[in-house]
Chains A and B, each alone.
Chain A
């Protein structure tokens, strides 16, 4: 490849063609453009005229220039010029390429490798020997000093290189370089990952020994993000993200997924230009939160931007059966108080009478000091246990007096007091937990004393069912399987009356273990059992098979094990009780690589190795087109009007794309939604209405066209029977648009206002409570002329316009739907306002294959079906009005007719 500075030619011999330019000039000059051919009937008259001597026509100079330029462009373009700035950077001697392939390099890996490639090509064309060194450790252990390699091998190695899901070890890399003699390397090129590991200077020093060092950095906007451990908060999961350097604004998505990778929650993080870290809360109802096994940032796609969550992360819902009792008398020492305080760090506590709890069974039901389960609830409670629930009972005064048999072991009547004035015995402490006990690994504190307990009847299985004992060997906690569930009895009280257990931290741990049993996961893991790797994360955050070199980790050391080649991030243990090992970089310690003396920082070329050839040929083609136009004009075959028409066509203004042409919208029915500007919501609205349209076309005679996104301010609303409006905080269409919407509703349109948040209370009008959707709805409704609204009456047309429905679930269930109290007869009794919180679009939404897009709560195909039925009813209600209301009178009319 011949080169002139940064410009090179791949076929330089073609440039010899330039010497032909003078010949072309001579030829073109001698060959004037052909004269215009004109038929002329009166030629005889012309021939009569005296003829002057014609001077030979010469080609105009500008035409010669144009054609010479054209020929030159073609010749140079075919010679394959390549503009490659990196060629300009000189250098000699062997080149050492150092690549940081730790986790921080993963997020822009392709760009990094792309930045490196022109350098490698330049070195190859210069014929320099080359060595390659990667800084992240790998499973093979310490590496030898980088050897000279061929370019084919090097390119293969670079292409096969993938970022590792653990940090780089630059100190080790610097050590490896010590083995090289000084003249083994003439220049170093260091592709960094932007993150300081404390040994950046050491590596730089090791490289400087050989000669000039260039650090290839991606520049601002490429700092890698890391996720901190999520925290459970009331609204869902709070996650902190951070980067080493605040290098510009970024927009990231945090996605919480369940076991099969479905998205349960999604949150956008807008990171300001000067913000290094950011806190994000992923909104998740407790039921969904418990299913989260993974949080990641798709834009980053690195191991540090991925969090695996094992059973420890799940918050169980614990139902505390309680019916008043002594709570009111002694609020601070009641069992309910102690239990609630002890459970709340890791579980959602629901306090309600047992009957209410069983209506929506939680994971664990706690019965403090209740001797007899009421007979009315007994069957339901037993069914709950059979299906996998955990019943946790505590002894107490009432329990001791008379207990029923819904217990793991049979209990002797009466209690046993230890210590006290009338006893010889001392209050007993808790014996260490047996290895096979669910509490294995916990250390009982000797301070915890038990004063009173209930005793079990001796039996054969008592020993096996005893999970915890007092030092004298009497059972303190017994448990037994019943069906898929568990019965657990704590033989002392849940408050401090009978023991100091409830005052100790052990109480919390015991409850956590018991609750952890609730879903058959997170069970006890023995202290030093080796956990085999189950699945490993790769550098891009994909959870795959066990990576090469991964070994088991002792169960009690998993918390302090640093991720590395032998212990890659991922799941360990067995599928039933697995533990997650995450790459948890310390967010506060993330720091950018500082500028180092003697190290030149280079940014990747904006246009690496730009091949100019095609552009030159393109320019030549454009000139050729111009030349053709000129030639046509000169021979009179191109009239100015044709040129004008051509210019008109080219200058045709492009009209703004409208959502839909009115004629098209009027030709068939289209469902419509309000475009809120929030991309996620709008996509969901579109997908939801598409799903609903498909269901309508399949089941009813309504066959809607594609759904239409409406701009309230400019689009014609009157063409659409139903408009779906999801509330998005901060979306304000403006007073003019609201006036248009008001007119639309008054003229008979139906608008479904969806606050998209679950308002569990049934008597509250959305807009009265305080959630974001409600706030927006309040703002919206304040601009409209809203008539009185009522909850949908049981005999409302909406409940029977197509399907017979009693409630209207969407993504959530149970939110109250409101309609106009007295819809105007002018609109056929159709309520223009349908207001509810159930996020229907999410329930309707399906992808191209008909698979649902969003998880429902509580979930199930029945709920999705009901949501679709509501949608169908709504559309038919909007289209047919009170037609179905009339049907109500049919029985009465028939009766009157004597039928």
Chain B
């Protein structure tokens, strides 16, 4: 599946714009509090709108509602922008698809990343890439830049982001297969957390990696120079492998939960929208907390 700004946009368009609640607004806002001329969390009144299922009861403006038959919700102007830094794994291990009809993991990761960026930019947030400067950028043109950057090959790809200089209190979203040793991942997110960044890890896996459907005599070749493994009867390894994979995931999840990060897993044979939605909700949860 080719990645482009448009396909990311198309995926993002199917979701309502998500606003990330700013936490500790003052620390990250560059230009101070100002009206964004949009619905958002702020102190100044923005507009009334009819109550919709799902709105919180406490948001209903009773005074306004009492004037007519319908209930109205008071919306306030959104007053803060937040920077979300993305990391999209483009290492050789991501260039893998077990079947012809499936996209490679790299394609799917880039799609998820772009869709997320598109939604964030539409909501007025700033989006940056880890390793490409300490600042994020706002506005639609930046989305096109992002797509272009992602479509160019990385000169020296690594699985995990470098420990770059990030502004404090930003958000970090790491999309990749996370098939590195648990300790390495733990070190990484702990050092991000130490700088006040909160974030999410999205593990993108091929179904073959998740299920290990191989049988018979196989020579498994690593994609990042791990070497080879000749297995006489691959089916005997399947159970142990699945347990090992689950343990790996659990270890990452435990670490993340401990420091307030989120982890989710995405398989490329599933629709990306579900994962994207979950990712947004998770970002929103972080903001609301």
Chain A residues near B179: list those with CB within 8 A: 41-42, 44-45
B270 within 8 A of A: no
Q: Is A46 in contact with B96, judged by CB distance below 8 angstroms?
A: no
Count of residues in A whose CB is under 8 Å from the partner chain: 25
CA–CA, A634 and B215, complex, Å? 11
CA–CA, A43 and B229, complex, Å? 8
Q: Is A45 in contact with B245, judged by CB distance below 8 angstroms?
A: yes
Q: Is A45 in contact with B221, judged by CB distance below 8 angstroms?
A: no
Name the CB-closest residue of B to A39: B221
CA–CA, A35 and B179, complex, Å? 25
CA–CA, A42 and B218, complex, Å? 14
CA–CA, A33 and B240, complex, Å? 26
CB distance from A20 to the nearest CB of B (A): 28
Q: Is A46 in contact with B229, judged by CB distance below 8 angstroms?
A: yes
CB distance from A408 to the nearest CB of B (A): 104
Chain A residues near B218: list those with CB within 8 A: 35-38, 636
CA–CA, A40 and B245, complex, Å? 14
CA–CA, A42 and B105, complex, Å? 12
A54 within 8 A of B: yes
B133 within 8 A of A: no
What 1/0 mask marks residues of chain A from 433 to 447 whose CB sits below 8 Å from any chain B CB?
A: 000000000000000
B151 within 8 A of A: no
Q: Is A35 in contact with B245, judged by CB distance below 8 angstroms?
A: no
Name the CB-closest residue of A to B219: A35
CA–CA, A215 and B20, complex, Å? 108
For chain A, what secondary structure do more than half of its interface residues adopt (helix, strand, loop), or is it mixed?
Answer: loop
Chain B residues near A634: list those with CB within 8 A: 216-217
Chain B residues near A38: list those with CB within 8 A: 214, 218-221
What 1/0 mask marks residues of chain A from 46 to 64 whose CB sits below 8 Å from any chain B CB?
A: 1111111011010000000
Chain B residues near A51: list those with CB within 8 A: 229
What 1/0 mask marks residues of chain A from 15 to 38 whose CB sits below 8 Å from any chain B CB?
A: 000000000000000001101111
CA–CA, A52 and B221, complex, Å? 18
CA–CA, A41 and B177, complex, Å? 9
Name the CB-closest residue of B to A53: B232
Count of residues in B whose CB is under 8 Å from the partner chain: 35
Q: With A38-B214, A49-B237 in contact, is A43–B222 under 8 Å at CB?
A: yes
CA–CA, A57 and B216, complex, Å? 11
Q: Is A48 in contact with B221, judged by CB distance below 8 angstroms?
A: no
CB distance from A164 to the nearest CB of B (A): 75
Q: With A41-B96, A44-B179, A49-B240 in contact, is A35–B217 under 8 Å at CB?
A: yes
Q: With A54-B231, A54-B232 in contact, is A41–B219 under 8 Å at CB?
A: no
B45 within 8 A of A: no
Partner of A45, one of B219, B227, B236, B244: B244
For chain B, what secondary structure do more than half of its interface residues adopt (helix, strand, loop), or is it mixed?
Answer: mixed
Chain A residues near B214: list those with CB within 8 A: 38
Q: Among A32, A55, A634, A636, which residue has the most Cβ atoms of chain B within 10 A?
A: A636
B254 within 8 A of A: no
Q: Is A57 in contact with B93, judged by CB distance below 8 angstroms?
A: no
B57 within 8 A of A: no
Chain B residues near A43: list those with CB within 8 A: 220-223, 226-229
CA–CA, A756 and B217, complex, Å? 78
CA–CA, A37 and B231, complex, Å? 11
Q: Is B245 in contact with A42, judged by CB distance below 8 angstroms?
A: yes
Chain A residues near B220: list those with CB within 8 A: 38-40, 43, 46
Name the CB-closest residue of B to A40: B220
Name the CB-closest residue of B to A37: B219
Name the CB-closest residue of B to A49: B240
B241 within 8 A of A: yes
Partner of A46, one of B94, B216, B241: B241
CA–CA, A234 and B105, complex, Å? 95
CA–CA, A55 and B222, complex, Å? 22
Q: Is B244 in contact with A39, judged by CB distance below 8 angstroms?
A: no
Chain B residues near A39: list those with CB within 8 A: 96, 220-221, 223
Within 8 A of A (CB), among B200-240: 206, 208-209, 214, 216-224, 226-232, 236-237, 240
CB distance from A202 to the nearest CB of B (A): 81
CA–CA, A70 and B25, complex, Å? 79
CB distance from B266 to the nearest CB of A (A): 15
Q: With A49-B241, A49-B244, A57-B217 in contact, is A41–B232 under 8 Å at CB?
A: no
CB distance from B56 to the nearest CB of A (A): 43
CB distance from A689 to the nearest CB of B (A): 54
B248 within 8 A of A: yes
Q: With A36-B216, A41-B96, A41-B179 in contact, is A54–B230 under 8 Å at CB?
A: yes
Q: Among A44, A52, A55, which residue has the most Cβ atoms of chain B within 10 A?
A: A44
B181 within 8 A of A: yes
Q: Among A46, A47, A48, A636, which residue has the most Cβ atoms of chain B within 10 A?
A: A46
CA–CA, A50 and B237, complex, Å? 10
What 1/0 mask marks residues of chain B from 68 to 109 whose CB sits below 8 Å from any chain A CB?
A: 000000000000000000000000011010000000010000
Name the CB-closest residue of A to B222: A43
Q: Is B230 in contact with A35, judged by CB distance below 8 angstroms?
A: yes
CA–CA, A36 and B206, complex, Å? 19
Chain B residues near A37: list those with CB within 8 A: 218-219, 221
CA–CA, A49 and B179, complex, Å? 15
Q: Is B232 in contact with A55, judged by CB distance below 8 angstroms?
A: yes
Chain A residues near B216: list those with CB within 8 A: 36, 634, 636
Q: With A36-B216, A55-B232 in contact, is A42–B209 under 8 Å at CB?
A: yes
CA–CA, A55 and B216, complex, Å? 13
CB distance from A784 to the nearest CB of B (A): 61
Q: Among A40, A43, A47, which residue has the most Cβ atoms of chain B within 10 A?
A: A40
CA–CA, A37 and B234, complex, Å? 12
Chain A residues near B96: list those with CB within 8 A: 39, 41
Name the CB-closest residue of A to B94: A41
Q: Among A42, A51, A636, which residue has the most Cβ atoms of chain B within 10 A?
A: A42
CA–CA, A861 and B247, complex, Å? 100
Name the CB-closest residue of B to A55: B232
CB distance from A33 to the nearest CB of B (A): 8
Chain B residues near A55: list those with CB within 8 A: 232
CA–CA, A38 and B217, complex, Å? 10
CA–CA, A14 and B214, complex, Å? 45
Chain B residues near A49: list those with CB within 8 A: 237, 240-241, 244
CA–CA, A182 and B157, complex, Å? 102
CA–CA, A495 and B148, complex, Å? 123
Chain B residues near A54: list those with CB within 8 A: 230-232
Chain A residues near B219: list those with CB within 8 A: 35-38
CB distance from B154 to the nearest CB of A (A): 16
Q: Is A40 in contact with B217, judged by CB distance below 8 angstroms?
A: no
Chain B residues near A42: list those with CB within 8 A: 177, 179, 209, 241, 245
CA–CA, A36 and B208, complex, Å? 15
Name the CB-closest residue of A to B229: A46
Q: Is B226 in contact with A44, judged by CB distance below 8 angstroms?
A: yes
What 1/0 mask marks residues of chain A from 474 to 505 whose CB sits below 8 Å from any chain B CB?
A: 00000000000000000000000000000000
In addition to A39-B221, A43-B223, A45-B248, 13 A-B residue pairs with Cβ atoms within 8 Å of each other are A35-B219, A37-B219, A41-B105, A41-B177, A41-B222, A42-B245, A43-B221, A46-B220, A48-B244, A52-B236, A54-B230, A57-B217, A636-B216
A contacts, CB < 8 Å to B: 32-33, 35-52, 54-55, 57, 634, 636
Ranked nearest first, the 10 interchain pairs of A and B with the lowest CB-CB distance are A43-B222, A41-B93, A35-B217, A40-B220, A35-B219, A43-B226, A54-B232, A42-B209, A41-B223, A36-B218
Q: List 10 A-B contacts (CB under 8 A).
A: A35-B218, A35-B219, A40-B220, A41-B94, A41-B105, A41-B209, A41-B222, A42-B241, A44-B179, A636-B218
